[in-house]
Chains A and B, each alone.
Chain A
Amino acid sequence: MTELATMDFHPQPQAGEAKPWAFPAPERGRLDNGLTVLRCHRPGQQVVAVEVLLDAPLDAEPAGLDGVATIMARAFSEGTDKHSAEEFAAELERAGATLDAHADHPGVRLSLEVPASRLAKGLGLIADALRAPAFADSEVERLVRNRLDEIPHELANPSRRAAKELSKELFPADSRMSRPRQGTEETVAAIDSTAVRGFYEKHVRPATATAVVVGDLTGIDLDALLGDTLGTWTGSSAEPRPVPPVTADDTGRVVIVDRPGAVQTQLLIGRIGPDRHDRVWPAQVLGTYCLGGTLTSRLDRVLREEKGYTYGVRSFAQVLRSAPDGTGAAMLAISGSVDTPNTGPALQDLWTVLRTLAAEGLTDVERDVAVQNLVGVAPLKYETAAAVASTLADQVEQHLPDDYQATLYRQLAATGTVEATAAAVSAFPVDRLVTVLVGDAAQIKGPVEALGIGEVTVVAAE
């Protein structure tokens, strides 16, 4: 039973005239020390974002020292030839800056954000960190201990635990991708300052690095600033490292990571597929969005808005590592969590959504709405300097041209329903998906086996 409202109603308004907006084009240059620089002026963005990419990928880590790239990345902000660890942190904060660094399959990335008025200070600190990191024994030792302490917290987190298990399942055991990005208890414990310095000396140099600077650069002489800071960093020349191919076993199967008593089951269903170098990428973006990009996409329309099994399930494509020759790969996955008693029914529905998609395809309306959203949100998505810098850095890291994102928007707009359907169906084939469930095996194993989505094995949580 409903009740009448007493307001005046008006018809739904029509859109006004769209104002032109384009993804910003960076200016590309190179410093005398070989450092590649991309810069981009964004009026009004008072917090400047700086990203520095180092060609120090995880596959370069020495055998048995998984995690050394991570410890090195963290150690960059633990003291230099000018400041102790405590002083360095204090100087950063005095500049109102934040500096994050992390290591991933394509390389190590440092992200600095600093108010434009203190850019000189911020660039000076990041340059010191790269040029002359202290890597003091005691600081590295502390970072190692700290990292060891973090591991149990990650294992206790259902989504982190699921990600770890999926990597182990998908990739060959001798591939770096099969193992945790930040190392295991055994490998991290073996890391010391000598190992960190060795990794740094072998892989960190301006000639194979790129800096991206984005923000309101009004009144800033960026060339002079860069010359005085990142320009003083020196190193030998080197060829870019070759990128090994990515392979994965996506034979359909189910692994349950047993967490007795869990009130929900964490799902992570994945395989690998094309990255941005592949011509199918725009169609894959569209199809993946239609499948599970938002709460009005196919998965949530059933699992959340009809059945109430979940707070939300998403499908996504996330580039793992790209290569200049196009042999890279992306992780294609569906993730979310569902309540324990409805785990079987939720997976049943999920598979039905995938089968229906394959049998009947997407509708033109779905495709249109997806394009309008993906293209239309660009001006809001890229309002901040940090968002622009991050995408420009992704492009460099993935060996893509600087106008890639701008071109992608045109390609999305030109992609039809048939192509988007084909891409979504080949991204998520029902018999080639590896399903990881972190949950109470005693309650969910039987119902999941009954679905016939692959052999079910159970592993202990720790």
Chain B
Amino acid sequence: MPMGHTATAQAGSGGLTATEHRLANGLRVVLSEDHLTPVAAVCLWYDVGSRHEVKGRTGLAHLFEHLMFQGSAQVKGNGHFELVQGAGGSLNGTTSFERTNYFETMPAHQLELALWLEADRMGSLLAALDDESMENQRDVVKNERRQRYDNVPYGTAFEKLTALAYPEGHPYHHTPIGSMADLDAATLEDARAFFRTYYAPNNAVLSVVGDIDPEQTLAWIEKYFGSIPGHDGKPAPRDGSLPEIIGEQLREVVEEEVPARALMAAYRLPHDGTRACDAADLALTVLGGGESSRLYNRLVRRDRTAVTAGFGLLRLAGAPSLGWLDVKTSGDVEVPVIEAAIDEELARFAEEGPTAEEMERAQAQLEREWLDRLGTVAGRADELCRYAVLFGDPQLALTAVQRVLEVTAEEVQEVAKARLRPDNRAVLVYEPVADETDEAEDTAAAAGDENEEAAK
């Protein structure tokens, strides 16, 4: 049977390897064998996320992800969940700015079922999609929004900061959960059009990792996915490019019913996939990753002005990444006290760069995070898809940790100096109010790196 062209395996770090294949309809396939445990992970990334949404239809990519679990031509209702779980598998789907992923981890002998299920909905979702599913999942997603964002303290912080950091009209200005009004406005026809536009084999990467027979696995993939027609109707996403520096300090003060004052900020950082982004990751780790970081030592241990203080990195490929600062104040401490200390620490870091010991610690932490991510078949399958979809080469997943370890202290200092400055950030300040706020805008919770919405 025709398989399209086949790439050969390359050695990756840690002895991991992956092979690449392409079906005639354009579906890219990545396989990676690992026979230590009798399990197999299936992961499918569609190259569509909230950045592809248009004005008035925010949240559609994520709502659509839920609809993918509502049945297809040969799968009834909740059959996708029932069949996978009944086979001893686990599954879910998530939506971010840049992609939508679906995954099943199966006992190895149930792999074929997962492939059959994914193919059925890729090729025939619209045979089952109806108003009833649409109305039901619209309500579920609205409740997801309430639970995760609207009904918890600081819950909409990420949404607010994203809206500040990416200008009006920018594809990353809104987050994947979308607005209540847009969720209400979405129609069945919108969902259908979304599927017809973005859910095609040539807009997806399928990875299978674990205790598999690659030849048999490829034969199954050809059998189930091979006849799904590819199509090229997908419009290019709106341009996400921005100047390297915001150029001014943006600021919003939120007065809400929250338990403590908070200072949050988003710094504009280099795109994912660049060496400068890895350098920024190390800079943020030295400054705010864990309990030996500069900001933790300064604010929580020494000044004792904060309960928590840390930095996170939201890696983005189609727009500048975000460095995410989150500080909750201690007792009656006022925000300017925190802000002054942070500016002092950032300036000192830009001036001096990291010490050799700080570099060693930061690299050890990031290395361990990679070991964790690649330590499960599901984690590996997801990373292979990520590098294939965003950077065109899954092999890069296997050597990513090596690249982080190659970054020098000078590069870390350079990116800190260029980017971690007051004129390159959006600041969000929370000031508690005593009584309850007015109606709907009473929000929510532990923000940070919440950029994914899940079906389950």
Q: Is A369 within 8 A of B112, CB to CB?
A: no
Name the B residues within 8 Å of A150 (CB-CB): 307
Stretch binding the partner chain, chosen from A9-17, A249-257, A273-281: A9-17
Q: Is B375 within 8 A of A380, CB to CB?
A: no
Q: Provided the pairs A44-B36, A86-B297, A152-B260 are in contact, do residues A312 and B456 lie with their beta carbons within 8 angstroms? A: yes
Q: Does A115 contact B (CB under 8 A)?
A: yes
Name the A residues within 8 Å of B150 (CB-CB): 263-264
Q: Provided the pairs A8-B227, A45-B375, A308-B139 are in contact, do residues A261 and B291 lie with their beta carbons within 8 angstroms? A: no
A175 to B: closest C-beta gap in Å = 28
Q: Does A359 contact B (CB under 8 A)?
A: no
Name the A residues within 8 Å of B360 (CB-CB): 94
Q: Is A376 within 8 A of B87, CB to CB?
A: yes
Q: Does B18 contact A (CB under 8 A)?
A: no
Name the A residues within 8 Å of B136 (CB-CB): 305-308
A142 to B: closest C-beta gap in Å = 6
Q: Is B227 within 8 A of A380, CB to CB?
A: no
Q: Does A377 contact B (CB under 8 A)?
A: yes
Q: Mark A1-29, 1 if CB is under 8 A from B, else 0.
A: 11111111110110111111100000000
Kindly name the residue among A16, A115, A309 whose own CB sees the greatest number of chain B CB atoms within 10 A: A16
Q: Is A158 within 8 A of B124, CB to CB?
A: no
Select one of A2, A85, A114 contacting B301, CB under 8 A. Answer: A85
Select one of B290, B330, B439 contacting A145, CB under 8 A. Answer: B330
**Complex Cα distance A305/B78, Å?**
9
Select one of B85, B105, B376 contacting A296, CB under 8 A. Answer: B85
Q: Does B113 contact A (CB under 8 A)?
A: yes
A101 to B: closest C-beta gap in Å = 12
Cβ < 8 Å to B, chain A residues 397-413: none
Name the B residues within 8 Å of A10 (CB-CB): 116, 223-224
Q: Is A369 within 8 A of B229, CB to CB?
A: no
**Complex Cα distance A152/B111, Å?**
47
B286 to A: closest C-beta gap in Å = 10
B289 to A: closest C-beta gap in Å = 8
Q: Which partner residue on chain A sits nearest B290 by CB separation? A: A93
Name the A residues within 8 Å of B36 (CB-CB): 43-44
Q: Is A373 within 8 A of B88, CB to CB?
A: yes
Name the A residues within 8 Å of B73 (CB-CB): 5, 9
Q: Does B74 contact A (CB under 8 A)?
A: yes
Q: Is B74 within 8 A of A12, CB to CB?
A: yes
Name the B residues within 8 Å of A383 (CB-CB): 37, 39, 375-377
Q: Is A149 within 8 A of B109, CB to CB?
A: no
A88 to B: closest C-beta gap in Å = 8
**Complex Cα distance A5/B199, Å?**
13
Q: Mark B134-177, 1 if CB is under 8 A from A, else 0.
A: 01111110111011101111000000000000000000000000
How many A-B contacts are there with CB distance less than 8 Å?
251
Q: Is A380 within 8 A of B127, CB to CB?
A: no
A184 to B: closest C-beta gap in Å = 15
Q: Provided the pairs A15-B109, A90-B292, A152-B260 are in contact, do residues A380 and B39 lie with their beta carbons within 8 angstroms? A: yes
Name the A residues within 8 Å of B89 (CB-CB): 376-377, 380
Q: Is B146 within 8 A of A18, CB to CB?
A: no
**Complex Cα distance A114/B106, Å?**
27
Stretch binding the partner chain, chosen from B55-63, B272-280, B362-370, B385-393: B362-370
Cβ < 8 Å to A, chain B residues 208-263: 211, 220, 223-224, 226-229, 257-260
Select one of B113, B130, B143, B152 contacting A310, CB under 8 A. Answer: B143
Q: Mark A42-55, 1 if CB is under 8 A from B, else 0.
A: 01111100000000
Q: Does A146 contact B (CB under 8 A)?
A: yes
Q: Does A155 contact B (CB under 8 A)?
A: yes
Q: Is A264 within 8 A of B143, CB to CB?
A: yes
Cβ < 8 Å to B, chain A residues 266-312: 266, 294-296, 301, 304-312
**Complex Cα distance A94/B286, Å?**
11
Q: Does B410 contact A (CB under 8 A)?
A: no
Name the B residues within 8 Å of A56 (CB-CB): none
Q: Is B127 within 8 A of A13, CB to CB?
A: no
Q: Provided the pairs A47-B371, A145-B304, A338-B143 are in contact, do residues A294 and B126 lie with their beta carbons within 8 angstroms? A: no
Q: Is A9 within 8 A of B436, CB to CB?
A: no
Name the B residues within 8 Å of A310 (CB-CB): 140, 143, 147
Q: Is B81 within 8 A of A3, CB to CB?
A: no
Q: Is A7 within 8 A of B88, CB to CB?
A: no
Select one of A1, A3, A97, A380 contacting B107, CB under 8 A. Answer: A380
Q: Does A339 contact B (CB under 8 A)?
A: yes
Name the B residues within 8 Å of A96 (CB-CB): 364-365, 367-368, 371
Name the B residues within 8 Å of A156 (CB-CB): 152-153, 257-259
Q: Does A180 contact B (CB under 8 A)?
A: no
Q: Mark A369-394, 1 if CB is under 8 A from B, else 0.
A: 10011011111110110000000000
Q: Provided the pairs A263-B442, A369-B85 are in contact, do residues A21 and B38 lie with their beta carbons within 8 angstroms? A: yes
Select one of B39, B74, B147, B290 contacting A264, CB under 8 A. Answer: B147
Q: Which partner residue on chain A sits nearest B133 by CB separation? A: A305
**Complex Cα distance A384/B105, Å?**
14
B112 to A: closest C-beta gap in Å = 4
Q: Does B2 contact A (CB under 8 A)?
A: no
Q: Does A262 contact B (CB under 8 A)?
A: yes
Q: Is A2 within 8 A of B143, CB to CB?
A: no
Q: Does A352 contact B (CB under 8 A)?
A: no
Q: Is A12 within 8 A of B113, CB to CB?
A: yes
Cβ < 8 Å to A, chain B residues 71-94: 73-74, 77-78, 81-83, 85-90
Select one of B116, B127, B292 contacting A89, CB under 8 A. Answer: B292
Q: Does A457 contact B (CB under 8 A)?
A: no
Q: Provided the pairs A12-B116, A46-B375, A96-B364 are in contact, do residues A296 and B152 lie with their beta carbons within 8 angstroms? A: no
**Complex Cα distance A114/B52, Å?**
40
Q: Does A235 contact B (CB under 8 A)?
A: no
B378 to A: closest C-beta gap in Å = 8
Name the A residues within 8 Å of B330 (CB-CB): 145-146, 149
Name the A residues within 8 Å of B119 (CB-CB): 7
Kindly name the residue among A1, A5, A113 whose own CB sees the greatest number of chain B CB atoms within 10 A: A5
Select one of A19, A372, A384 contacting B86, CB under 8 A. Answer: A372
Name the A residues within 8 Å of B144 (CB-CB): 311
**Complex Cα distance A53/B360, Å?**
31
Name the B residues within 8 Å of A262 (CB-CB): 151, 442
Q: Is B140 within 8 A of A308, CB to CB?
A: yes
Q: Is A152 within 8 A of B116, CB to CB?
A: no
A398 to B: closest C-beta gap in Å = 25
**Complex Cα distance A101/B123, Å?**
49
Q: Is A115 within 8 A of B109, CB to CB?
A: no
Cβ < 8 Å to A, chain B residues 281-317: 290-292, 297, 300-301, 304, 307
Q: Provided the pairs A142-B304, A150-B307, A380-B39 are in contact, do residues A7 and B123 lie with their beta carbons within 8 angstroms? A: yes
A239 to B: closest C-beta gap in Å = 36
**Complex Cα distance A94/B357, Å?**
8
Q: Provided the pairs A153-B328, A311-B147 are in contact, do residues A15 and B110 lie with their beta carbons within 8 angstroms? A: yes
**Complex Cα distance A308/B145, Å?**
13
Q: Is A16 within 8 A of B112, CB to CB?
A: yes
A177 to B: closest C-beta gap in Å = 25
Interface residues of chain B, those whose CB is within 8 Å of chain A, are 14, 34, 36-39, 73-74, 77-78, 81-83, 85-90, 105-113, 116, 119-120, 123-124, 126-130, 135-140, 142-144, 146-148, 150-153, 192, 211, 220, 223-224, 226-229, 257-260, 290-292, 297, 300-301, 304, 307, 328, 330-331, 357, 360-361, 364-365, 367-368, 371-372, 375-378, 436-437, 439-440, 442, 445, 456
Can you spell out 10 A-B residue pairs with CB atoms less than 8 angstroms apart? A86-B292, A86-B301, A89-B290, A93-B291, A96-B368, A260-B436, A295-B81, A337-B147, A373-B85, A377-B88
The 10 closest A-B pairs by CB, nearest first: A376-B88, A308-B139, A5-B124, A7-B123, A96-B368, A96-B364, A16-B109, A152-B259, A89-B292, A19-B38
- Other than the given A5-B124, A149-B328, A376-B110, 18 more pairs (CB < 8 A) read A2-B129, A4-B127, A7-B229, A15-B109, A15-B113, A16-B111, A19-B211, A93-B291, A96-B368, A115-B371, A145-B330, A263-B146, A305-B136, A308-B138, A338-B143, A372-B88, A376-B88, A380-B89
